[in-house]
Structure 1
Amino acid sequence: MPDIRSLFATRLYHAKLSDHGPAVDNKELTASCYSIAEDDEAGQEWCETEGYPGYTSYASLTDLPWRFPIFADVVKALDAHVAAFAKDLEFDLDGRALVVEDIWINVLPEGGSHGSHIHPHSVISGTTYVKMPGGTSALKLEDPRLPMMMAAPVRNKGCREELKSFVYVAPEAGDVLLWESWLRHEVPMNMAEDDRISVSFNYKWE
């Protein structure tokens, strides 16, 4: 019998935010996201200039945990999730820590999307999901080897998950997803009539 193994694993962490850290009231978090979006004129201007549908605080606000205490609670919970993921990845952190570098709000209305991208200069990236209406888009993850497959035939429909070129993960409100920052991902078009709200973040090695 041949010995066939899976090598070079790409890990994805999926849990409830509430599994670690202080309890986070999702209704309060939703209201805080909308409140910040409404007041953040610089962020609104950036979204309009860059053609970003909906709202993101990515280019305008760097102090969410200071502005609203609930975001400080989110970061405390994320710190524990990221530590657990780093342990699973068997990182040798050499006595140093993974710390939050950026954290930002995303509000995608009906028809909004976020194109394929990576998060350079970070170690672990992820998203916690605040509002996920029925029918909204899942997160789309891309096999990092895809550009090197060249003449490879397409996979059979229904092939094993680890062999797919793209994997779609449909989180629920209150979930957190973590991945290594080099993993290319995107948010396809929101087909729901209601807003899709999430809070994304990067962690660096310090």
Structure 2
Amino acid sequence: MPKIDSLFVTRLYRAALTEFGDAIETSELEAACYSIAEDDEAGHDWCEANGYPGYTSYASLTDLPWRFPVFQDLVTTLDKHVAAFAEDLEFDLEGRKLKLEDIWINILPEGGSHSSHLHPHSVISGTTYVAMPGGASALKLEDPRSARMMAAPARRKDAREELRQFIYVAPTAGEVLLWESWLRHEVPMNMAEEERISVSFNYSWE
């Protein structure tokens, strides 16, 4: 019998934001997101100039934990999740820690999408989900080997998950997803009538 192994695993971390006992209310996060978005003229200007549907604070604000205590509480919680994921990945951090590099708000309206991208210069990236109404778009993750499959036939529709080119993950409000920052991903078109709200972040090595 042939022996077939799976090599070079791509890990995806998924957990409730409250996994470590921290009490963070998504309703409080949602209110904070809307409050910041309402006042962030520079953010809206950037979104308009760059054709970004809805709102993101990605290019305008770097101090969310200072603006609202709930974001400081969120970072404290995310630190624990990232540390757990780094342990699972068996990183040799040489006694140092992964540290928050940046954190930003995403408010995606009906019809909005976020094209395929990755997060250069970071180690772990992720998103915690604040509002995910029915019909809100899932996170689409791409097989990192796609560029090397020039002559490969398509996979069968019922192929095992680990063999598919794309994986769709539909999180719920209050969940956090983490992945290594080189993993290409996108947010397909939001089909919900209500806004899809999330908070994304990057962690780097100190």
Tell me the CA shift for residue 20 of structure 1: 2.2
Residues 21, 73 of structure 1: 8 Å contact kept: no
Runs (4 or more) in structure 1 with deviation over 2 Å come to none
Residues 12, 177 of structure 1: 8 Å contact kept: yes
Is 2:189 aligned against 1:198? no
> 1:25 is matched with which residue?
25
How many residues are aligned here? 206
Please list, as runs of the form range in 1=range in 2, the aligned pairs for 1:92-131 lying within 5 A after superposition.
92-131=92-131
Tell me the CA shift for residue 90 of structure 1: 0.2
For 2:21 and 2:205, locate their aligned partners in 1 and report how far apart those are by CA, in whole Å. 21
Question: Normalised by the size of structure 1, how large is the TM-score?
Answer: 0.99
Structure 1 regions of 5+ residues with no counterpart?
none
Tell me the CA shift for residue 22 of structure 1: 2.6
Please list, as runs of the form range in 1=range in 2, the aligned pairs for 1:1-206 lying within 5 A after superposition.
1-20=1-20, 22-206=22-206
RMSD: 0.6
For 1:173 and 1:133, locate their aligned partners in 2 and report how far apart those are by CA, in whole Å. 9
For 1:29 and 1:86, locate their aligned partners in 2 and report how far apart those are by CA, in whole Å. 25
For 1:28 and 1:19, locate their aligned partners in 2 and report how far apart those are by CA, in whole Å. 18
Q: Which amino acid aligns with 1:143?
A: D
For 1:134 and 1:107, locate their aligned partners in 2 and report how far apart those are by CA, in whole Å. 15
For 1:45 and 1:156, locate their aligned partners in 2 and report how far apart those are by CA, in whole Å. 44
Tell me the CA shift for residue 122 of structure 1: 0.0
Tell me the CA shift for residue 189 of structure 1: 0.3
Residues 126, 201 of structure 1: 8 Å contact kept: yes
Tell me the CA shift for residue 158 of structure 1: 1.0
For 2:155 and 2:102, locate their aligned partners in 1 and report how far apart those are by CA, in whole Å. 37
For 2:59 and 2:3, locate their aligned partners in 1 and report how far apart those are by CA, in whole Å. 49
SS in 2 for 1:86: helix
For 1:84 and 1:19, locate their aligned partners in 2 and report how far apart those are by CA, in whole Å. 11
Q: Which amino acid aligns with 1:39?
A: D
Identity in percent? 76
SS in 1 for 2:157: coil
Q: Which amino acid aligns with 2:117?
A: H
Tell me the CA shift for residue 21 of structure 1: 5.5
Q: Which amino acid aligns with 2:131?
A: K
Residues 55, 108 of structure 1: 8 Å contact kept: yes
Q: Which amino acid aligns with 2:89?
A: L
